[in-house]
Structure 1
Amino acid sequence: MTYKQIKWTILFIPTITVGLWEYVRHQFLLPYISMDLGNWLTPLIVYLVSVTLLNKLFHMLERIRRELEQERTAKFALEARENLAKELHDGIAQSLFLLSVKIDRLEKSDEQQSQLQEIYNIRKTVHEVNRYVRQAISNLRYEDTAVKLMNLNEALDVEVQKIAKEVYVDIDVFWELQDEMLTPKEKVELLACIREAVLNIEKHANASKGWVQGEGDKQNWRVTIKDNGQGFEGNPFQLTDRYGLNIMKERAEEMNWELKLIRDNHHTHIMISKRENEVGCEVNHKMNI
């Protein structure tokens, strides 16, 4: 029953009860029940109906009212999150983008060499803050409804699928790593690393195909991002313009994960893994001969 129907039912039941009782009493029970006894029985019958049928209806009314209040509160919270996300996007994110453009111009100036290290530090900071802001915007807009709609075991898989669809390269996802095997902090950092690796496939690899695979358990797991692109020379982590890779490396070091970047069999592999008794971050480099 709806909220309105319950209210009208509560209003009508006592009236109908008294009307039916009085009709039965005067038509059929007058020879057996005196007028005084009938007058005493009328409020008693109304009371019995109230504590049985009406009491249940009042509980239903309270439950519906609580649900409406919860929906209203959730709606207000969602609107507030959406407004905050819009403010972040229109304010901080746009300002960071403009600052990034100015740094690009500064890098091309005649005094580039003397200011290169300072430019690199500024660019790295801007790149990282911009990534955090965009992730905050995404979480503000979608996290609340996504958590309600998705099964917890599917949440991480769905997020990886979404990342794969953000780029124009065809990315296949093979995901067996269950959501409960990672802490909330690990999920955030791992998804950030996967997003950076996938974006690198689109921006730098000139690849036509990519793969993302996650497997393992809570103590030992591995995530591999692979592509068939042009590969790399030397150690890309030492290049000053690879801000995303260096941020990925720092994330892995902070989480005590092992990070490997390998070129093998005409494919580039970025492997992020966790081993129960291993700490630190290792970068291995192999060239396919």
Structure 2
Amino acid sequence: MKDNKIKWLILAIPTLTIGLWEYIRHAFLLPYMSMELGNMLAPFIVLAVTLTLVRSLFSRLEHSQKALQREKASNAALEERERLARELHDGISQSLFLLAVKLDQLDKIAPEGQVRQLGAGLRETVRVIHEDVRQAIANLRLPPYPADAAWVVPLRQLLGDTADVTEAEAEFNWNIPEGSLTDKEKVELHACVREALINVRKHARAAKVYVLGEADGSGGFRCAVEDDGLGFIGDPLQRPGRFGLRMVKDRAERMGWGFSLERRGDRTVAEWVKRGGQAG
């Protein structure tokens, strides 16, 4: 039922109720009921009808208005995502392309020696950043997922993208209940898993990649990104250029989660743990 029709019914029902009551009273009840009693009963009859029919109509109207507000918010979010995607493409992406062109010019000027080695390293950095920007643009132009899957489905997609790029097998095993995490925890955990998967894609050369999410039954969880790739030597958090991993560690510490990055058998495991009863 359309909103306008609901509004007209809300306005008309009390009037129709009084009219119908007066007709029934005068046509059938007048010999058995005095005018004073009929007048006294009229507001109670209107109140009873209002509490049943009109209240139900108000509820439907409120539900319709909320649905309209959600649709407007969704459209506004889509427009904002598209605007951000355009800015990334027209700004950062184009600047990276120009930087790559200038690096090619540098190779022609200094074809040998340390300058060429430095240029090769910069070119690889530009390539990786450009790939990340393109992925960000693609993600922004995807429609947002429904609220009940707004953070789990993108994690599965990230794993699939990583597997496609690295030609690895992927396994996604997730049983953390949707309602057990706060919105902030979902945002932070998504960012951590994303950075770990990007690290696998860039460095691991893995044949298998796993994303695991397990609830502990008391409000906590264990989340892990595992791969059977090359692994690492020493502490990867202290290696130059690993800013992303250090940011992941900082995010986990701010949330009060345990974080570890270590080699376990033939797997490299990045793991986040929230103890049950711990505030999010």
Matched ranges for 1:1-289 at <5 A: 1-116=1-116, 118-120=118-120, 122-123=122-123, 125-142=125-142, 145-146=144-145, 148=147, 150=149, 155-165=154-164, 167=165, 171-176=168-173, 183-196=189-202, 211-214=207-210, 218=222, 222-225=226-229, 251=244, 257-258=261-262, 272-274=268-270
Amino acid at match of 2:38: G
Amino acid at match of 1:187: V
Q: What is the SS of the residue equivalent to 2:269?
A: strand
- Per-residue CA shift, 1:185-207, capped at 9, x if unaligned? 43121121233359xx7xxxxxx
Amino acid at match of 2:116: L
Verify the 8 A CA contact 2:193 2:225 in the aligned structure 1.
no
Q: What is the SS of the residue equivalent to 1:145?
A: coil
Q: Residue 140 of structure 1: CA displacement?
A: 2.9
Q: Which structure has the larger Rg over C-alpha atoms? A: 1
Amino acid at match of 1:159: L
- Distance change (3 Å), C-alpha of 1:108 and 1:272: farther
CA distance in 2 between counterparts of 1:252 and 1:272 reads: 14
Q: Residue 252 of structure 1: CA displacement?
A: 5.2
Q: Residue 49 of structure 1: CA displacement?
A: 1.8
Verify the 8 A CA contact 1:82 1:141 in the aligned structure 2.
yes
Q: Percent identity?
A: 35
Q: Residue 94 of structure 1: CA displacement?
A: 2.0
* TM-score after normalising by structure 2: 0.64
- In structure 1, what is the equivalent of residue 218 of structure 2? none
CA distance in 1 between counterparts of 2:11 and 2:246 reads: 67
Q: Residue 176 of structure 1: CA displacement?
A: 4.0
Amino acid at match of 1:71: E
Verify the 8 A CA contact 1:18 1:42 in the aligned structure 2.
yes
* TM-score after normalising by structure 1: 0.63
Verify the 8 A CA contact 1:152 1:179 in the aligned structure 2.
no
- Distance change (3 Å), C-alpha of 1:27 and 1:67: same
